[in-house]
Structures are given as C-alpha cells and as structure tokens.
Amino acid sequence: CECPENEFPELFKKPYHHGLPSDDLKCQEGKPQAAVDRTLDSKAFRGWTETDNPWTYDDETDNCESESVLDTEMTYVNLQLNPERYTGYTGPSARRIWDAVYSENCPKYPAEELCQEEKILYKLISGLHSSISIHIASDYLLDEATNLWGHNLDLMYNRVLRYPNRVQNLYFTFLFVLRAVTKAADYLEQAEYDTGNPTEDLKTHSLMRQLLYNPKLQAACPLPFDEAKLWKGQRGPELKQKIQAQFKNISALMDCVGCEKCRLWGKLQVLGLGTALKILFSVNGEDHSHQTLELQRNEVIALINLLNRLSESIKFVHEMGAAAEKLNEGTVTSTRLNSLVQQAWASIVKT
C-alpha cells in the first residue's frame, strides 16, 4: 500500500522548507488536493518520545528496533496547512478501505447476537466515518476549473443525514471521546505543552483548562458515557482482547489508504479513538485502576483533534442539516432533524 522506494520523491527524504510541490502526484492518485503540505514553523516542535498504544497499530513503534530508525521514520506535519476536506480520493480504492474496516472488524450479525461492547466498536467506527463524510461535504471542490470550494449538501445528505443510525453514531462517538477527555482532565491539565513558543504555550494551557472545566459543558454532559457498565461477566476479559485486536487491525488498515492527506487524517483520528479507548478501558488489556495513565504528545494531539473534528461535524449538521434535507426532499424538515437529534440522544442514554 505504501509507495515503492523508487517512486518516493527525493524531496520527501530531505529537510523540508517550502511545502510540497503541487505537481508531485505519484502517491496521490493524480489528485493535487490529496497532497500533504509539509511546511513547518521552526519553533513549533522539538520532538517527543514514541511508545506503543495497545489499542492501535503503528509501524513506527511496532516494527522499529531502535530510536535512530524511529527518528528517520517520523514526519512532522502542520495540520493547519492540511485541513480535512475533499481530496478527490473516491471510487473503488477508497471503498476497499472502508469495506475492509467494516467486514474484517465489524461483522454484520443480527443486533440480538451482538453484545454491548461489540455494538460500541461498530458505533465508534460508523460515527467516525460519518464525521469524515461531513467534513468532506463541508469543504468540497465544487468546480475544479475555477478552484471553487464550498458546501456539498447533497453529499452530506446522501452519505449521512438520510440514515438516522449514522447521525446517532456520530453523536455517540462525540460523547465517547468527550468522556475520555473529561476523565483524563487532571492529566491533560498538567501535561507539558512546551513547543518553544511561550505565547502559544500559554494559550494552549488556557484553552485546555477552558475545555476541561467548562461549566456549561459539565452541566450539559456530567457523564457523557459510562464505561463502568462494560466488560462485565466471565467473557469480559476475552471480549476486551478481541475488540482491542479488531481496533488495532483498523488502525493498521489506515496505512493502506492511497491518498496521502486522507491517510494523515485517518491515522490521526483513529489514533485519537485509540487514545480514548486507552483512557477509558485499559493499558495493555489490564484494569486501568491499578495503573498510572501515560499519554504521549502525539496521543494528546490526536485525541483533541478528534474531539474538534467530531464537534465541528455536529455543528455543521445543526447549521446545514435542514437545508440539506430541504434540497433533497423539497420541504423544510428541521422538525425531522430535531427528531433525529432527540433519537440520537435517547439511544446514547440507553447505551
């Protein structure tokens, strides 16, 4: 799935200072929108240590035998220069990835045959899938000839809004990740956010505290998700290992995404979900109550970015959902959209 060595652009192997050439499309299936801009602020990062997350697969940490190898494999990317948006990555290649994610790890058994934990894995992946589709629709290349970008409400409706369960799963995934963030509040508040830019570092600390201790958020969602209900009974440990292996396989599949920018956001958000699972459930499959939580900087970055992506998706649904339904159904259906939201919340509360 990765580019062969002889096809890997030489410029990618050298220190990068001027951004990715827009005409270098060997890894992007001919789509310039899929290329990652590698321009970096020289003060932005000083590097961090990588350790393994048992919920996710990462070839840099799972296969490297030395830190020197790890250093050569790591790539720093400015996410602000690479927004999650339409990239032109469509068709059989993209479908194969999602088909593999669902068929290999979320088999379609009758609902009554699935235990609660297995349903949660499916909901998380479906919710993430819905969020990605919404971000593509919210920032879409409408006219390639004039480079006109805008909203594609048809796409949002046909991929997400017309399926109530996908809307419900989007809300579920948001609340799941929100619960992980609030549960790790003490750690996240005390974590080191030293990038070498004192002004930005202070701002980051302030914003993190505002997120963690927002009174409106605490009042609205005192317990977004109750993880204490899971992994009960004799099958608990076995189920945890099974679902952990399935999610790890999903994270490995992200390396097979043919579009570089899609792979960037796919790996980032799956790592964010893996970090949420790590916070809520386990480290190396063991009960978290007997271990000290340890997160790496990239896990924190992935977790917070995922929460942002999910919240932005929900915001876009609230702002443009009625317009999308009106466009596709010919009538204003804000009442129906509100009903979907209420159904989503009711479903989450029962979980």
Instruction: Tell me what the mean pLDDT of segment 11-21 comes to.
Output: 40
Between residues 166 and 228, which one has the greater pLDDT? Answer: 166
Question: Which tokens hold the place of 317?
Answer: 């649904």
Residues marked active site are found at 259, 262
Which band of pLDDT confidence, cut at 50, 70 and 90, is reported for residue 206? very high
Which band of pLDDT confidence, cut at 50, 70 and 90, is reported for residue 165? very high
Which band of pLDDT confidence, cut at 50, 70 and 90, is reported for residue 105? confident
pLDDT score recorded for residue 56:
75
The per-residue b/e assignment along 55-86, b for 16 or more CB within 10 angstroms, e otherwise, is bbbbebbeebeeeeeeeeeeeebeeeebebbb
Phi-psi region of 30 (alpha: psi -120 to 50; beta: other; left: phi over 0): left
Which band of pLDDT confidence, cut at 50, 70 and 90, is reported for residue 65? very low
- 301: three-class secondary structure by DSSP: helix
Which band of pLDDT confidence, cut at 50, 70 and 90, is reported for residue 51? low
What pLDDT, in 10s, does the model give residues 241-298? 888 888 888 888 888 888 888 889 999 999 999 999 998 886 444 444 556 778 888 8
Residue 309: how many CB atoms within 10 A of its CB? 21
10 located within any domain: no
Q: What is the dihedral of CA 106, 250, 226, 216, to 10 degrees?
A: -120
Inform me whether the pLDDT recorded for 23 exceeds 50: no
74 located within any domain: no
Which band of pLDDT confidence, cut at 50, 70 and 90, is reported for residue 77? confident
135 located within any domain: yes
Least confident range of 17-26, 36-45, 165-174, 233-242: 17-26
pLDDT score recorded for residue 146:
94
Residues contributing to the annotated binding site:
85, 87, 98, 126, 129, 159
Instruction: Tell me what the mean pLDDT of segment 40-44 comes to.
Output: 42
pLDDT score recorded for residue 42:
43
What pLDDT, in 10s, does the model give residues 302-338? 999 999 999 999 999 999 988 888 888 765 445 555 6
Structural domain boundaries, residue 166 = 89-350
105 located within any domain: yes
Gyration radius of the chain's alpha carbons: 20
What pLDDT, in 10s, does the model give residues 192-205? 888 778 898 899 99
Between residues 93 and 311, which one has the greater pLDDT? Answer: 311
pLDDT score recorded for residue 169:
94
Between residues 149 and 221, which one has the greater pLDDT? Answer: 149
62 located within any domain: no
Number of structural domains (the chain) is 1
Instruction: Tell me what the mean pLDDT of segment 51-70 comes to.
Output: 54
Residues contributing to the annotated binding site for FAD:
85, 87, 98, 126, 129, 159
